[in-house]
Amino acid sequence: MTTQQIDYILAVAEEKSFSKAAARLYVTQPSLSQSVMGIEKSLGVTIFDRSFNPIRLTAAGEIFVETARQIRSLEEGMKNRLSDLESSLSGTLTIGASSFRTGCLLAKSIARFRESFPGISVTVAEDSRERLLEQVKTSQLDVFIGTGQFDKRHFHAEELHKETLLLAVSQSHPFNEKHGDQMLTHEDVQKQTMRFVMAPPLSPKDMSELSFVVTDRGEFSKDRLMAVADEGGFTPKISMRARTLETMFSFVNEGFGAALIPDTLVRFGNYRVHPCYYLIDSNCVTESISLVSRKNGYFSNAAAQYSLTLKKLVDIGTWRVQG
């Protein structure tokens, strides 16, 4: 198997479309289709079942893709080892995170790292949590930074920071009059004022009167809201769906509904206009932001040095972009 053959098959398998894979690879669709058919002919198997839309892997295709990813992982490991033999100040580092985390939380740590190690090439991949973790598993990424549970069979996760979801409600919503003694401003959250420390949290059932803006995927999907609502014994009313956390935040400000917003966005998102915020008395609103790598995979010198840089900045509270 050549590197090009592996790249072609993996691209089609991941995109589930010849046209999307061709665009990703910067080749024409007929050329890609012909190349894949040539690979199938040489192996004497069918890799893709083209009768489905989107296309699917056959049983033979599953074996091919699994093996191809193992080969790619071995190649990347070899390159990193060879780079580490030459110098600990050279090599590559690939970091995966959502666009929100890259902008609000990681920019400063990456800048500091590049100052200390200018010979190391840093690449940041922004995508969904699921796709980024798959890339960590297949050694396409050195590390992923995000929240959630991680399969211990495949990943090693090291906690960096605690993140808490807050209830966000537009400033004009009547909910604020009813719960004024519990209401927080963005300055309360950002500066950790005495009001932030002393304000009584909402019970989850207090949220039952609200309608919500949600996202269906990612770290801040509606699953987090559903878990809180389950504690309060109600089914949340959904008024609007958004694709990203940033869009959800904007919809809340415009009064389309309430939402659960991470405190990191409030503190480091550099927004001028904010809704009102509330603490929530729930076990489901706090999660760890973790540095995640492939379990039993080769951890390069570049990845190790970035990990040390990041943890030092976390310890002194300066890993984030300050507004």
pLDDT at residue 47, rounded to an integer? 95
Amino acid at 299: F
Give the pairing of strands 120-126 and 91-97.
parallel
Distance CA 36, CA 246 (A): 39
pLDDT surpasses 70 at 87:
no
pLDDT surpasses 70 at 153:
yes
pLDDT surpasses 80 at 32:
yes
pLDDT at residue 323, rounded to an integer? 47
pLDDT surpasses 90 at 187:
yes
Please give the radius of gyration of the chain, using alpha carbons only, rounded to the nearest integer. Answer: 23
Which of the listed CATH numbers 3.40.50.11440, 3.40.50.1240, 1.20.200.10, 1.10.10.10 matches domain 3-66? Answer: 1.10.10.10
pLDDT surpasses 70 at 156:
yes
The confidence band for 258, taking pLDDT boundaries of 50, 70 and 90, is very high
Higher pLDDT residue, 149 or 81?
149
Q: Integer distance in angstroms from the first to the last C-alpha of the chain?
A: 50
E-strand stretches of 38-138: 48-49, 56-57, 91-97, 120-126
> Domain residues of the chain, as ranges?
3-66, 71-161+288-316, 163-286
**Torsion angle (degrees, nearest 10) of CA 101, 107, 108, 109:** 80
pTM (two decimals)? 0.70
Which of the listed CATH numbers 3.90.1150.10, 3.40.190.10, 3.40.50.920, 1.10.10.10 matches domain 163-286? Answer: 3.40.190.10
What are 233-256's pLDDT values in tens digits?
999 999 999 988 999 999 999 999
Does the domain at 71-161+288-316 match CATH 3.10.129.10? Answer given as no
Domains 3-66 and 71-161+288-316 share a fold: no
pLDDT at residue 316, rounded to an integer? 67
pLDDT at residue 75, rounded to an integer? 73
Task: Quote the mean pLDDT of the chain.
Answer: 89
The confidence band for 59, taking pLDDT boundaries of 50, 70 and 90, is very high
Cα distances (angstroms) measured from residue 117 to each of 67, 104, 111, 301, 302: 34, 22, 10, 11, 9
| Residue 74, both tokens | 């071995």
3-state class (DSSP) for residue 187: helix
Q: Do you find a cis peptide bond into 204, omega within 30 degrees of 0? A: no
pLDDT at residue 86, rounded to an integer? 59
